[in-house]
Amino acid sequence: MNEITAHVDALPGLDPRAPLLHVEDLHVEFRTRDGVARAVNGVNLWLNPGETLAVLGESGCGKSVTAQAIMGILDTPPGHVTGGRVLYRGVDLLRLPESERRKVRANRIAMIFQDALSALNPVYTVGFQLAELFRVHRGTSRREAKRRAIELLDQVRIPDARRRVDDYPHEFSGGMRQRVMIAMALALDPEVLIADEPTTALDVTVQAQIMSLLADLQRERNMGLMLITHDMGVVADVADRIAVMYAGKVVEEAPVYDIYAHPAHAYTKALLESIPRLDHKGQALNVIRGLPPALTDIPTGCAFHPRCAYAREICRLEPPPAYQIAPHRVTSCHFVREVLGV
């Protein structure tokens, strides 16, 4: 039994035959002075080994809160998980005591945060912060932990890793700091990696490099990757499936080709139509009218109906059910046939 297997087996009730990650009917709310913000309203997601699931939507739709609930790092208060399950290999993480939950973080499920400069401690070298993971979770010596830190920096393609291991976060560029964050997330060989807007504030060339690096590391390790983003262009080449979120719900989930070729929800279609295209040069961009709803006052019926070109009276009155329109393809839209043009 190797070191990694020993740590996996230490989690009671783990079933290696169960899905890698399965989120069922997850609800999260924030109790504030202005009222209760229902940030996540019945999210269902699943992820297999070696698969990339892109969770996509506008800012404030609940993507990052879903990730924080999976990781168990919600600020409580004001955030509270009020329902649902987060199953890792059949074990409900929401029911674990905090001592057991800490064993899951980094060891089995790791996360790359949006802002690397804020996530890294400015008063410690990147090598110290990487080595600390091995000292705390694996009990390795300082010398061995530093050796592994250098190996990780080399794996994420930081030039001259042996010298740069003693540099501080502010001495790295934005792209290099993001590589350090990837190294920290992968240090303990997790089975699930959640990347929350990993290319935010990076130029397009560095974005492509970071996404290529993540894809290469995922293939090498056969990880399940959950990629959170608002940029449909970023995920086109890397995702296997896309889950589109709006107002705390997954409104459409499908293989990546189906989403781009034949969107089945009015919101997904509107997102795609708002992307600039080379064959529409000189034409005005399509926009989605209005703004996403305040989570303290989500509209009745379909939450997207105030902004939707297909909306009818039923959309204002009744929440649409989840329609299974094809294998592994679900959408929540009353007028799916009209959106698909069939």
Q: What is the pLDDT of residue 10?
A: 64
The rounded distance, in Å, linking the Cα atoms of 96 and 89 is 13
Inside any domain, residue 294: yes
- Residue 153 structure tokens: 């920096």
Instruction: State which amino acid sits at residue 290.
Output: G
Considering the domain boundaries, does residue 251 fall inside one?
Answer: no
**Alpha carbon distance 212, 220 (integer Å):** 12
Q: What is the mean pLDDT of residues 333-340?
A: 94
CB 64 within 8 A of CB 196: yes
109 three-state secondary structure: strand
CA distance 18 to 217: 23
> Per the structure, how many domains does the chain have?
1
pTM of the shown model = 0.90
**Does residue 281 belong to any structural domain of this protein?**
yes
Cα→Cα distances 96→100, 190, 263, 336, Å: 6, 18, 38, 39
Give the domain range for residue 302.
264-342
The mean pLDDT value of the chain amounts to: 90
Has residue 289 been placed in a domain?
yes
pLDDT of 189 higher than 70 = yes
Q: What is the mean pLDDT of residues 132-137?
A: 91
Q: Are 154 and 116 in contact (CB under 8 A)?
A: no
Question: pLDDT tens digits for 317-332?
Answer: 999 999 999 888 999 9
Closest CA to 328 of 269, 253, 260: 253
Residue 9 has pLDDT above 60, yes or no: no
Does residue 300 sit within a domain?
yes
Q: Give pLDDT, residue 275.
A: 81
Express each pLDDT in 61-109 by its tens digit: 999 999 999 999 998 889 999 999 999 999 999 999 988 888 888 889 9
The pair of three-digit structure tokens given for residue 67, joined into one six-digit string: 């990730």
Q: 277-304, pLDDT tens digit by residue?
A: 777 677 777 889 889 999 999 999 999 9
How far, rounded to the nearest angstrom, does the alpha carbon of residue 252 sit from its chain's CA centroid?
Answer: 16
Strand partners, 112: 195
Q: Which residues contact 87 (CB under 8 A, 6 or more apart)?
A: 18, 19, 21, 22, 23, 24, 93
Q: Which range has the worst mean pLDDT, 98-102, 188-192, 327-331, 335-339?
A: 98-102
pLDDT > 60? residue 3 = no
User: Nearest-CA neighbor of 130 among 164, 94, 95, 79?
Assistant: 164
CA–CA separation, 50 and 324 (whole Å): 24
Is the Cβ–Cβ distance between 221 and 108 less than 8 Å?
no
SS3 (DSSP) at 148: helix
**Is-contact 332 322, C-beta < 8 A?**
yes
Q: Which residues are within 8 A (CB) of 314 and not within 5 positions of it... i.e. 6 or more apart?
A: 301, 334
User: Over the stretch 199-227, which tens digit does the pLDDT of each residue have?
Assistant: 877 788 888 888 888 989 999 999 999 99
Instruction: Give the pLDDT score at 162.
Output: 95
- Say if residues 130 and 141 touch (Cβ distance below 8 Å): no
